[in-house]
Structures are given as structure tokens and as C-alpha cells.
Structure 1
Amino acid sequence: MKNYLLVLTLFMFLVQGIHAQNTEAIVQQIQNEATENSQLENLAHELMDVVGPRLVGTPQMKKAHDWAVKTFSQWGIQAENQQWGTWRGWERGICHIDLVAPRVVTLHGRQLAWSPSTSSKGITAGVVILPTVADSLAFVRWLPQVKGKWVCVSMPQMTGRPDYNWEEFATETSFENMKQQREAQEKNWNQNIRNTGYTSRNINEALEAAGAAGIIQSRWSKAFGANKIFSASTEKIPVLDLSLEDYGMLYRLAANGDQPEVRAVAESKELGRVPTFNTIATIKGTELPEEYIVLSAHFDSWDGGTGATDNGTGTLTMMEAARILKKVYPNPRRTIIIGLWGSEEQGLNGSRAYVEDHPEVVENLQALFNQDNGTGRVVRISGQGFLHAYDYLGRWLSAVPEDITQHIETTFPGNPGRGGSDYASFVAKGAPAFSLSSLSWSYWNYTWHTNLDTYDKIVFDDVRNNAILTAVLTYMAAEDPEHTSREKAVLSIDPRTGEQREWPTPREPNREGGKN
């Protein structure tokens, strides 16, 4: 009996040793492929430069889905576009904005997403600014003055320099004085908007109803040259966003009685209802094909830039990880799914639809890895409220090269994500889904939903690290002899409410979106 136990023990040590050696070999192959044969730069060029921004409901979004399917197929990975709903179809056209009086200069700006079109001749009109009013009756009396005019609806910024620039060069007294003046300006502006009886969200509707020719805004992102670019809220008149610099000039001209005129050609096309998709690629498992690891990233973007860091880099991470795995680990134990989701920006609609339409994946999910928030290397991973997440994530992370894990802070068990990106759609269903959260690289100010979110902001060394991390975690999750636990931890107290947090509940997707 003793000899039998000794032999069994030696055999187990031998098996573990062979497995460890095999893991080391696979991880080394992943690293080599990622560094010596990286496809990231080529993929980024094709997606950001050639396809461009990926606003849901646009031909560019469909072109991106088709490009992804073709690219996966070239790597020998089965892929398809799965329709989950429809959206308002719209296509951006030529946009050119000029100040034509009191002098001529081309202005830096663009029409917003889903903006109504001008004619090919454009609109030439004077400019008015919102008045200071005592109450809503005073605003109603003023409203007829907008007829046939461009209306400036944003607060002009008193400085175009970010705070960090002031901190570096200004005297302490000057910096504090600027902040006090800005705070007072913002307070007065917000109060005046309330006095009109409207909010910044619905005042455009009143201006349109009063006969305005168009709306001009500027949503500065508190960074040099960056504006937040979202959607228009009008039905018939165009909405333009101007740079801080040009908007400030235009506002001052109007405020000082210099009678500015603006000519704008802002063409676009309404395309009716169009189908919306998720791109789903699959590397079929060999031993446990009905258990799944999902590589997750949202595919859509806003269209002020080209969606490079939101979420082109997350998309590149997952596609490159899949390419590498197909090459060095072509026969995974469990099935690997790559989900490139549509309409995340309008409420996680693509991933929420997927969890509704594919309960078998949710029920048998080993793990999901999602990357969204920018181009930086991954620095945070949370257990998302799963009590035993440390047991399996810890095992998987131990195989990741130290030069990658040394930057990562983990929180276990953590709290479940409630939104923000597509992993939350799965967490709400009680499935183990994890966010690979990135270093900032000034994401919120410079590239998140701005006109500067372009190819040149990608930090490819960091994205390469993220592709290696994702590929290794996926390999380890696919090979793990144990299935991951879904036991939920007792959640922490919410410091804002003083009450214990509750697990998030699933939300239905908007499958018929973008209606006027």
C-alpha cells in the first residue's frame, strides 16, 4: 500500500511538472507571437484610418462589422454578424463652417451625430446668444429673436488653458483668482439656464420651435484642443460643435454687437431603420465545448474622432489575443468566444441583447474578460463581488509574465459593476465577468468621446501588453480543471447611502433605438 501511495504521489508530481512546463511553453509562445509578429499597428490603421468612426446605425458601423468578420476568417476563426435589433440609420456628410462677417475665416467644428442636414448650399445667418433673463416669461418674450439665426447655447470659457497649465506657469494668486471667476461664471450661467424654464438638455427644442436656423455649441473637455462630441437633439435644424477658441471668438463678436454671420454646410443622410449587429467569433473547444471564455470589447464609438481609445484599443486587444491563441493554442479545452458589441455607447445594448439571446453562454461561462477604458496598460482587476474570484483569477494571473502583472492591482472580492461597459451585462446575470481596467493616459480629458480620439493616441506597447495578458488569462481559464465559482460575497456598505449594496439587476436592451 505504501508503495502504491508513493508511486501515485510521484505520478501526480510528474503530471503537475509536465503541466507547468507546458504552461510555460505556451506563455512563451504567446509572448513571442505578440512581440515578434504583432498585427496591432496594421489592425489599428485598417479600423481607425480606413473604416473610421463606428456610430451605431451608420454605414461605417456595418463596414466595421464586415471587416472584423473578414479579418477573423483570414486567421481561420469562424465569425459572423448577429443581428440584435435596429437603429436610426444616419450618415455623416461634408461639413464646412465659415465666419463670413465681420471678417472671413474657416471655423473648426463639425455637426453632431444624427444632426439634421442643411441643403448643399448651406445656411448663412446671423448669430445670437442666450440673454440674461429674470424668469421664464422674460425668456418667452425674447424667443422670437432667434428666428432665422444661429443660436449659441454654451457658456464661453474664460480660459482655454487646462488647469495643469495654469498650475505650472501662473502665480498662485492668479490661478486662484481665475478659478474663483470661473466658478462664479458657471454658477451664474447655470442659474440663468434654470431661469429660462428649460435645461441644457431641452432648451434646443424650444429654440427650434421658435424658428432658429441652427444651434451652435462648444463642449470643452478641459484639455487643449479637445471637445466632447455627442448627438444632436433637434428634428429639423442642424447642431454644430465649435472648438473652444472659435466658439469664444464668435460669442464675443455677438455679445459686443459686431453682428457676426456664419455660413455652414453640414450635409447628412437619413437612412431609415437599419439592422444592428454584434460580431461574434468562435474558437471551438475540444473537451468542454459547452463551456465558454468570452473576450469582450464594444465595437461602436462616437464619431468626433475615429474611436481609437474608445474602444478601438479594446477591440484590437481582443482581436489580437484571439489571433495569437488561434496560432499557438488552436484546440482549446473550452470554447473561446470573441464578442465585439454594438451600441455600448447608448446603453450596453449589444451585450445586453446577447445575454438575453444566448442564455447557454451565460449559464456556462467560465470567465469573461472585457477591456474598454483607453489605450493604457491594464492596472486594475476587481473580483466583481464573486466570493472565490481570488482563487481562480489568482491562479491564472500567476502564469502571466511578471513584467505585466507588476503593474496590476487587484481587489477581491470587490463589488459588482453596474454599468460603464459590457462586462456589467454579464455580471448582472451572476456570471463571472471581469474588467481589465487601464492606466489613464489622460483618457477622460483628451480622448474619451472627443474629437482627438484618433490613431496617434494609441500607445502600442501598452496595448501589446494587454493582448498578452488577455491571451494568457484566456489560456489558463480554458485549461483550468475546475469550473469557476459564482458564489456571491456579502457586499460592502455604500458610503453615499450608508446602506449595504445590492447585486445589480439585468436591464433590457433598447432593440429599436435612435428614434426622433
Structure 2
Amino acid sequence: MKTFLHPKGFSAARYAAAMFIGASMCCGSLSFAQSSKDPVINNIVNEENSNSQLEKLAHELLDVVGPRLVGSPQMKQANDWAVKKYSDWGISARNEKWGEWRGWQRGVSHIDLISPRVRTLEGTQLAWSPSTSGKGVKAEAIILPEVADSMAFQNWLPNVKGKLVMISMNPVSGRPDKNWEEFATKDLYNKFKKEKDDAAKAWKDRLTKTGLTAKNLALAIEKAGAAGIIINNWSQGWGVDKIFGANTTKIPTVDLSVEDYGLVYRLATYGSKPVLNIVSESKELGLVPTFNTIAEIKGTQKPNEYVMLSAHFDSWDGASGATDNGSGTIMMMEAMRLLKKFYPNPKRTILVGHWGSEEQGLNGSRAFVEDHPEIVNNLQALFNQDNGTGRVVNLSGQGFAKAKDYLTRWLAQVPDTIKNQIKTNFPGAPGGGGSDFASFVAVGAPGFSLSSTSWDYGSYTWHTNRDSYDKLVFDEIRSNAILAAIMVYMACEDPERTSNERITLPVNERTGKPGVWPPQTKAIRKGGVN
């Protein structure tokens, strides 16, 4: 495509003309085909709409590799897959070690009620749960009791020996609030909400009276000789549970669905003495190296200035990590493919960071920021995506005083059908966490979040057992890939260097003190170990 637009021939005058065209887009109802005379942009849009690779990328990553828990063999398999994929596209890529983590490999889980009746239960072991070593655990399930205080709890603890202990509240209803709101009368709905709130407060009080934190409660039950721990971390939607990590070190911890947790809970409550058989196989792998995958298209005029794409690669492993953050991962990979095909000789160097251990505290991106000041200090812009499969609808200036100037210039070249969906907020406020752009913002580097519309992300797919390929909305991700590719292209071509000047933050209403820019937090370089 250099015959149409060579980056070295992109003069300031032509850039200004392009900006005029972009400004016209904001004011009129021109279609995209009429509004852009830039062949690079046209080719990016046409390629993505006619020859998208997103479905294939999603299948290979989510169906074949699967979830990508930090320290797991699948995480390393994903790193290697991405490097190979970039290589196939003619893009230089590498796996860059940033730390070590407790290695763990999930095996088969099978949970059955065997008394007072037989039923195979829906559930899974938590990440890093100890293995039942192939033999399985057969035991009665009991409920964490109400106690007067921590002394009473300690007196009760010997009762857990040889038992499976249920330490989660049994939800008042397995129906989502939306379902109640739609079908119940107003009085019934209000009654339900009160019962739900009262039950949550009562269970919180029950846990508080043990005198222990969640982690120490699990360890105390384990030390007292329990056979295992059963929880329910319902995500307030049909069929969905959050699946995080286990606190036990010797006995299994499993999560049961809200339906089956309720069944076992009621059986225990009414004296039916439910007996379960749990097989939860897993393998400890010791400390294993952890990596970020970095891909690069070298700049031709300003190779030591950088424009970055960003998405975390790791996931929790209750499902396949599709919307958190397989969707962001394949979007950034596809954007890189488009840029390599139609903009192979960028003015500035283009990088993409696929980060490890975001779920445990942005560790991969924090390590990159610490290890690469030469990149961070010369960053034109970074674009991160990490909140589901939806189209991008929000873009904040993250507290950078001049962000409106350059982000608006670049956004003007994006097709109306994509751009008009996006609400901007300038100068905005600096993000202190949540996803990897914050690692860059903390050190004053212009990192921006391409924030997506929900698609019920928080309830149905975020960290749940239902975050799978079928939840992806590819048309939305296609739009996001086009957006990201064009924003990177424009950032590379911009004759001006972006400003990282920060705003003066307003007074904190709660403390009455001046606002403070989020501090840099060091990466955890050795994780999952005591």
C-alpha cells in the first residue's frame, strides 16, 4: 500500500487537510465512503468487514488453548501461540519473562450427591485447589453455624473433622433481580429485596463472629481436619458463578451452582445429612516463569517513539476467558494484522502488549513499565481494551490536560458508525486500577481505556463459569479492531508529539484534601506462594 500512501510522504500540510476532512465528518451526515480519502483507512475498514480473522483467532485461543490462568501450562501455550501467529503475519514477536508464579494445572472435577439420593451436581474446583489425588473425597456436608463470638467458633471447630463445610450464604432466590422486578408485584418485589438484604447482613454477621478473615477461616477449617470446603459465589444471573482461587492448601475447595448449593444446604438444614463424593484432580508444578507477549512493527522515521495496543492475556479459568479478556486480545491481534498489511512502515514504532497476571494486580503491565522506561518515556499513546465483547462507547482523557487535542484529531478519522457511538470525557480523571492502562497512567504516560458497552458483562461473563466463545459478539469486536487500528495509524502519523501534561486534580470531597495522582505500584514478581 506504500504506492498509495508512504508514511515519509505524509506532510504536515496533508495531515492538516485530513483533519479538515475529519472535522467535516463530525458536522455532517456523510457516509464513511464519502468522508475518507485515505486509502490506508479505507483498506483497514474493507479488510475487516470482508476478511476478518477474529472468529478463527477466537477458536484457536478459546476453544483449543482455553483459559489462561497465570502459572498454568495453558498460559504458556497461549504465549507461544501468539508469537507463532504474529510470525505467520510477518510481525516480530517475543515472550518476555517478567516473573514467576505458582504453577498449577487443572484436572477433572466431578461432584455427586450420593445420599439421601443420587444426583450429579454442577460445580468446579477453584483455581489452585489442592487435588483429591484420584481417590475422591466422600463425606457429609455441614453448614457453618451461627455462633456468639470467636471463642464459641473455636469450640465448634472440632465438629468439622471429616466433613465438607459449607461456608457461603444460601441465596434467598436463584432468580436474578431483573426477573423478580419484571414479574413480581411491587409489594412482593420489595419484600424479596428486604429478605435478600437481611439475609446478606445476617450471613456477614455470622462470618464476622468467627473472628477470622475469609482466608483464615478456610485455613482454620482445614487445620481442624475437614475433608473439604464448599462455596457458592453466585453471579446474580441464570446459571453463572464466579470462579476465583482457593484459600485451602491441603483439602479441596469447590464451588457449587446456586441451584445445587441450595439443594445441599437445605438437606443439611433439615437434618437429611447429605453425603457428597468429590473428585477434583489438579497438579502442582512449582514456581514457573511468567511472560508478557510483545509484538512490534518497527517505525521508519521515529523508531524510538511508540504507539501501543494493550490487552491482558491471562484469565480466570472457570470457563475459557472469552470476554475477559479473549475479546480484547483478539481485537488487538487483529488490529496488528490490519496495520501490518496496510501500514507496514509506520512513522513511529507500533507495539502490542499481551499482559500476564492482570487478574492478580496488573502485574505483567506493571513489570513492563518498570523494565522499559525507554518505551514508557517516549510513548505517544496506548490504547487498552478489557471490559467485554461490546462496542467501544467511552473514551476518557485520563486526566491528561491536552488529551482532547490529539484524541479528537485521531478519532475524527474513524467511521461515523463507530465514532458516533463513543462518548468522550476530557480531560477526565486518571484511572487508578481496573486494567492495564492504569500501569502507564500512574507514571504519567498517556494510556487510554477503550471502554465497551456492557452486554451484562458484570453478571454473566466477568470471571464466571460461562465466559465462553459463544458469548462473543463478533460484529462489535470487528468495529473495535477497526477503531484501534485507525487510532494507532493516526497516532503514528501525527506530526506532533503528544503532551503528557497532567491536570490539577480537584479536592477530594470525602477528605477535603487536594486530589492525588494514582501512585505507581510495583509488580509482584513471585506470586502464589507464601
**Common fold by TM > 0.5:** yes
Q: What is the aligned partner in structure 1 of residue 219 from structure 2?
A: 205
Q: What is the aligned partner in structure 2 of residue 309 from structure 1?
A: 323
What is the deviation of 1:330?
0.6
Q: What is the aligned partner in structure 2 of residue 41 from structure 1?
A: 55
For the 8 Å contact 1:283–1:335, the answer to whether it is kept is yes
For the 8 Å contact 2:12–2:495, the answer to whether it is kept is no
- The partner residue of 2:362 within 323, 327, 348 is 348
C-alpha distance in structure 1 between counterparts of 2:398 and 2:500, whole Å: 11
Q: What is the aligned partner in structure 1 of residue 174 from structure 2?
A: 160
Q: What is the aligned partner in structure 2 of residue 511 from structure 1?
A: 525
Residues 445-472 of structure 1, C-alpha deviations (whole Å, 9 max, x = no match):
1111110111111011110110000000
Q: What number of residue pairs does the alignment pair up?
A: 506
Matching residue's letter, 1:239: T
What is the deviation of 1:15?
7.7
C-alpha distance in structure 1 between counterparts of 2:318 and 2:512, whole Å: 40
Report whether the alignment pairs 1:480 with 2:494. yes
What is the deviation of 1:495?
3.6
What is the deviation of 1:25?
1.8
C-alpha distance in structure 2 between counterparts of 1:95 and 1:449, whole Å: 18
Matching residue's letter, 2:101: W
Secondary structure at 1:202 match in 2: helix
- The partner residue of 2:292 within 275, 278, 290 is 278
Q: What is the aligned partner in structure 1 of residue 30 from structure 2?
A: none
Report whether the alignment pairs 1:264 with 2:278. yes
Report whether the alignment pairs 1:466 with 2:480. yes
Residues 127-161 of structure 1, C-alpha deviations (whole Å, 9 max, x = no match):
11111111112111111110001000000011001
**Inter-CA distance 354–399: structure 2 relative to 1 (3 Å threshold):** same
For the 8 Å contact 1:415–1:492, the answer to whether it is kept is no
Q: After superposing the two structures, state which structure 1 stretch, 197-206 or 280-289, moved more.
A: 197-206
C-alpha distance in structure 2 between counterparts of 1:15 and 1:504, whole Å: 35
Matching residue's letter, 1:488: R
What is the deviation of 1:497?
3.1
**Inter-CA distance 23–319: structure 2 relative to 1 (3 Å threshold):** farther
For the 8 Å contact 1:389–1:412, the answer to whether it is kept is yes
What is the deviation of 1:292?
0.2
Secondary structure at 1:151 match in 2: strand
Report whether the alignment pairs 1:27 with 2:37. no
Matching residue's letter, 2:214: S
Name the % identity: 61
C-alpha distance in structure 1 between counterparts of 2:108 and 2:12, whole Å: 68
Q: What is the aligned partner in structure 2 of residue 371 from structure 1?
A: 385
Secondary structure at 1:434 match in 2: strand
What is the deviation of 1:496?
3.5
Q: What is the aligned partner in structure 1 of residue 427 from structure 2?
A: 413
Q: Which runs of 5+ in 1 are unaligned?
A: 1-10
Report whether the alignment pairs 1:196 with 2:201. no
Written as runs of structure 1 = structure 2, the 5 A alignment for 1:105-124 is 105-124=119-138
**Inter-CA distance 336–133: structure 2 relative to 1 (3 Å threshold):** same
Residues 59-90 of structure 1, C-alpha deviations (whole Å, 9 max, x = no match):
00000000000000000000010000110000
C-alpha distance in structure 2 between counterparts of 1:174 and 1:22, whole Å: 56
Matching residue's letter, 1:261: V
- The partner residue of 1:97 within 101, 111, 114 is 111
Q: What is the aligned partner in structure 2 of residue 5 from structure 1?
A: none
C-alpha distance in structure 1 between counterparts of 2:482 and 2:336, whole Å: 10
Q: What is the aligned partner in structure 2 of residue 3 from structure 1?
A: none
**Inter-CA distance 15–167: structure 2 relative to 1 (3 Å threshold):** closer
TM-score (norm 1): 0.96
- The partner residue of 1:425 within 417, 431, 439 is 439
For the 8 Å contact 2:95–2:291, the answer to whether it is kept is yes
Secondary structure at 1:262 match in 2: strand
TM-score (norm 2): 0.93
What is the deviation of 1:185?
1.2
Residues 294-349 of structure 1, C-alpha deviations (whole Å, 9 max, x = no match):
10000000001110000000101100000001001111000000100000000110
What is the deviation of 1:504?
1.4
Q: After superposing the two structures, state which structure 1 stretch, 140-149 or 487-496, moved more.
A: 487-496
Residues 159-184 of structure 1, C-alpha deviations (whole Å, 9 max, x = no match):
00111100111111111111111111
What is the deviation of 1:17?
4.6
C-alpha distance in structure 1 between counterparts of 2:333 and 2:508, whole Å: 37
Q: What is the aligned partner in structure 1 of residue 25 from structure 2?
A: none
For the 8 Å contact 1:151–1:215, the answer to whether it is kept is yes
Q: After superposing the two structures, state which structure 1 stretch, 128-137 or 109-118, moved more.
A: 128-137
Secondary structure at 1:462 match in 2: helix
Residues 206-236 of structure 1, C-alpha deviations (whole Å, 9 max, x = no match):
1011100000000011111111100000110
**Inter-CA distance 17–144: structure 2 relative to 1 (3 Å threshold):** closer
- The partner residue of 1:139 within 150, 153, 158 is 153
Q: What is the aligned partner in structure 1 of residue 372 from structure 2?
A: 358
Q: Which runs of 5+ in 2 are unaligned?
A: 1-10, 22-34
Q: What is the aligned partner in structure 2 of residue 445 from structure 1?
A: 459
Q: What is the aligned partner in structure 1 of residue 504 from structure 2?
A: 490
